[in-house]
Amino acid sequence: MQTEIEKLKNRLLSAGSLVILTGAGVSAESGVPTFRGAGGLWQGHNPQELATPEAFEADPFLVWEWYDWRRSIISRIQPNPAHYAIAELEKRFLEFTLITQNVDGLHAQAGSRKLIELHGSIWRVQCVECGNSSENRVVPIKILPRCSCGGLLRPGVVWFGEPLPEEALFRAFEASSNAAVMLVVGTSGVVQPAASLVLRASGAGAFVAEINPEETPLSSAVDLRLAGPAGKLMPTLL
Ligand code: OAD
């Protein structure tokens, strides 16, 4: 493991640009349950069945209850050493992009600024009628939140079956195409475009490293794997 860490550090030292792609695993050590790991179920519901426009249409209260539960967990926790190490790496590269699938806001809280939130933010809400989007940090939400136009407000996150924000997606692909090194941290890589971004970077010549305690479908496509928790491994790269 030590030689792998040294190898990656040497790559980072000579790299002109760095892209970091993160997923739920980065926040696991802060206490946010991952989507597909143990503890991912909420009251017997699979998140993949709750995070859909259809589920919200059928039962907005149930979906808000789940988001309320996630928001209350996140409001009480702090970024972990992986978030802080990523924020520190940003300061060391002129060209840097952090692409996250996480909606918890912990990267920004840790100081990351060059940040693309591909799946939106749990701290934003959007009106299903007029589309107006705004920040909302009320926890707990006791009644269904409504917009000033009267429409129902939904969490400002991307759900299964919905397109990703176009501009964010464009910037993510552009950054991946230009990366000298890409770090893929704490994502199962099974939800697009995570996998495509990794393949884009690798296809354009980037050195790609994966940091994850488990193997993923991306593992065979990367140049180097650090098997372990992000909170322990990311600070060793500084
Ligand atoms: P997943 O729950 O699919 O995967 C979490 C990954 O983190 C797994 O590969 C774990 O092995 C890894 N992991 C667990 N603990 C870790 C640790 N301490 N350090 C590093 N890695 C760790 O989460 P995502 O890949 O983020 O989308 O899932 C992608 C998207 O699917 C999410 O953004 C969400 C979900 O449905 C939406 O909500 C739209």
**Tens-place pLDDT, residues 160-185:** 999 999 999 999 999 999 999 999 99
Q: Looking at ligand 1, which residue's alpha carbon is closest to its atom 7?
A: 25
Q: Is the pLDDT of residue 36 over 80?
A: no
Instruction: Read off the pTM.
Output: 0.94
CA-nearest of 111, 131, 104 to 23 is: 104
The pLDDT, as a whole number, for residue 157 is 96
CB 29 within 8 A of CB 82: yes
User: Which pLDDT band holds residue 38 (cuts at 50, 70, 90)?
Assistant: low
Q: What percent of the chain is predicted at pLDDT more than 70?
A: 98
User: Which pLDDT band holds residue 39 (cuts at 50, 70, 90)?
Assistant: low
Cross-strand pairs, 80:
none
Q: Is the pLDDT of residue 120 over 70?
A: yes
Provide the 10 A C-beta neighbour count for residue 120. 19
Q: Give the largest CA-CA distance in the chain.
A: 59
Report how far residue 198's alpha carbon sits from residue 42's, in angstroms, rounded to the nearest whole number: 30
Task: Please give the distance, rounded to the nearest whole angstrom, from the Cα atom of residue 48 to the centre of ligand 1.
Answer: 12
User: Which pLDDT band holds residue 34 (cuts at 50, 70, 90)?
Assistant: confident
Report how far residue 212's alpha carbon sits from residue 219's, in angstroms, rounded to the nearest whole number: 9
- Mean model confidence pLDDT for the chain: 94
Q: How far is CA 70 from CA 42, 112, 209, in A?
A: 10, 22, 30
- Beta-strand runs (E) in 47-143: 95-100, 115-117, 120-127, 133-135
| 119 is known as an active-site residue | yes
Q: State mean pLDDT over 47-70.
A: 92
CB distance 152 to ligand 1 below 6 Å: no
The pLDDT, as a whole number, for residue 68 is 94
The pLDDT, as a whole number, for residue 169 is 97
As a dihedral over the C-alpha atoms of residue 84, residue 35, residue 136, residue 20, rounded to 10 degrees, the angle is 30
The pLDDT, as a whole number, for residue 216 is 97
CB distance 34 to ligand 1 below 6 Å: yes
CB distance 216 to ligand 1 below 6 Å: yes
User: Which pLDDT band holds residue 46 (cuts at 50, 70, 90)?
Assistant: confident
Backbone angles phi, psi at 219, to 5 degrees: -55, -40
Atom of ligand 1 nearest to the CA of 34: 2
Backbone angles phi, psi at 11, to 5 degrees: -60, -45
The pLDDT, as a whole number, for residue 40 is 62
Q: State mean pLDDT over 90-95.
A: 97
Long-range contacts of 67-70 (CB under 8 A, 24+ apart): 67/122, 67/141, 67/155, 68/139, 68/140, 68/141, 69/42, 70/32, 70/104, 70/122
Tokens of 200: 């884009």
Q: Which residue bears the tokens 């195409």?
A: 177
